[in-house]
Amino acid sequence: MKRLLTLCIMLTAVALITAPAFAEVQNVKVSGDVNSAGVYRNNYNLFDNNNTNANGADDNFLFTQARVRIDADLTDNVSATVRFLTEYDWNTSANTSSTGDNVDLDLANVTLKEVFYQPLTVTVGRQELKYGNGFVIGDPDTNATSADGNLTATDLSLRKSFDAIKAVLDYNPLTVDVFCAKINETNKTGNDVDLYGINAAYDIGSYNSEVEAYCFLSKNDVSTAPTTATNAGNEIYTIGLRGSISPIDSLNLSGEVAFQSGDYDSESATKRDQKANAFQVTGDYTCPDVTIPGINATLKNPMLKLGYTHYSGEEVGNTGDHEAWIPLYEDQTQGIVANYILSGVNGGQNSNADILNVGGSLSPLQDLTLSIDFYKFWLDEKLVAGDNDQASTNSGLGWTNLATSSNYYMKADKDLGSEIDVALSYDYTEDVKMGLCAGWFKPGDAFDGASVNDYNDETATQVLATLDVSF
């Protein structure tokens, strides 16, 4: 009898160990959104129609982005999140074949609250990482690619997720985030691209103010640099400080400064260190509603904003320390057109740039918002050598999306150009939004170089119409 009892206990223990474990589901929430849009683009490589390189500069297409998210609250402070994403251009022929739209796993993570230690929360898996206003960390590919290969407007991709492990220590009002993310896995030891970081945020409380300090390490060991334009064999440390405050009602001020150091290139015969800096200051003020006499109309929530951004640049011919700011994984848009055509290291939009932004918004009618933004772009360092000499090049400018197979004739000038963006947003219902946005980028004097009749100073235009439904 004793042996039988012992055998039963052993079999029961084995069954419990080998049986699959399921956490009890307390609550499940399903949400998502569907966004359909039409895009018109003209002169997106800045060549006029008479230029032999102008092919592909104009385009118009329709696309759809759809996401479905499932959040499940489980027992013992455990939750899980899964979100699926598809992004594709409208093309019935392709969409019914193997080359059609794909459904990608956008989020897939588990969160453990108060794990081992009450203030500690750990999130493991595919998740979004964004600190501050996305000045350094926010998008793993800086909108260089879409979730799959079927979206032409890669700069409009909704994919923002990192494969990462994040630990959050909440010592209210101090919050400390520590994370590590895998950017590129080659399945070879010591041959990956990784991102490590620590971010400490302190909520001061008075005047709705807060301050953040951070240190990020981007480590690239692969033999071929990824699309984020960081060289192989580099270790880039980015340290920074950000703060925001509302000194009076309706006025918001913020500022951020960051420095980069480390190894820019540790594999070439001539080693180079990274020595770069960047800063950003912004402010916005919401004015009282304005009543227009005679027509009994009221302009609601008029807002004015002003911002200035600086990214250090690399001087032509410099072989010493690399001084151009490396955008890493930023998530900001400084002009809807320039954000795409001038992206990259040292190209003059999110690196080697000084950017002035003046804008505002208001609601002329209920549920309708009008916004206008003006951007002025200057180079921190000229793209070509000389005084006023014209020069041609198809390499070394750092542009990710301009036609690199074509020569761009530049001039030794820091005036890169300007852009105006105008947007209308209409809240059709609480869950349905309609939008219409247009942007015009006018190249500056730096683009005034030419060879015979080959000019590259045409105005680039984008018009975007959107219908966004969330549930």
Which two tokens mark 52?
A: 């032999």
Phi, psi of 299 (to 5 degrees): -90, 115
**Please, are residues 336 and 421 in contact by the beta-carbon 8 Å criterion?**
yes
**Please, are residues 130 and 110 in contact by the beta-carbon 8 Å criterion?**
no
In angstroms, the CA 287 to CA 310 distance is 28
Please tell me the least confidently modeled range out of 47-56, 122-131, 215-224, 426-435. Answer: 47-56
SS (H, E, C) 17-79: HHCCCCCCEEEEEEEEEEEEEEEEEECCCCCCCCCCCCCCCCEEEEEEEEEEEEEEEECCCEE
Please say if the pLDDT value at position 358 is more than 60: yes
pLDDT of residue 431: 96
**Please, are residues 397 and 408 in contact by the beta-carbon 8 Å criterion?**
yes
Please enumerate in sequence order all residues whose Cβ is within 8 A of that of 332, keeping only pairs 6 or more positions apart, or say none.
Answer: 133, 134, 135, 138, 350
Please say if the pLDDT value at position 254 is more than 70: yes
Please enumerate in sequence order all residues whose Cβ is within 8 A of that of 17, keeping only pairs 6 or more positions apart, or say none.
Answer: none
Phi, psi of 446 (to 5 degrees): -65, -20
- Which is more confident, 94 or 459? 459
Domain 26-470 sits in CATH at: 2.40.160.100
pLDDT of residue 19: 39
β-pairing, 25-42 with 432-443? unpaired
Strand partners, 265: 272
In angstroms, the CA 405 to CA 56 distance is 12
CA 164 and chain centroid, separation: 17
pTM: 0.88
Q: pLDDT tens-digit profile of 197-226?
A: 999 999 998 999 999 999 999 998 765 444
Coil, helix or strand at residue 316:
coil
pLDDT of residue 407: 75
| Percent over 90 (pLDDT), the chain | 59
- Which is more confident, 317 or 286? 286
> Predicted confidence band at 317 (pLDDT cuts at 50, 70, 90)?
confident
Query: What stretches of 150-222 adopt beta strand conformation (E)?
Result: 161-171, 174-184, 193-203, 210-220
pLDDT (mean) for 57-78: 92
pLDDT of residue 331: 94
What residue has token string 């795409």?
340
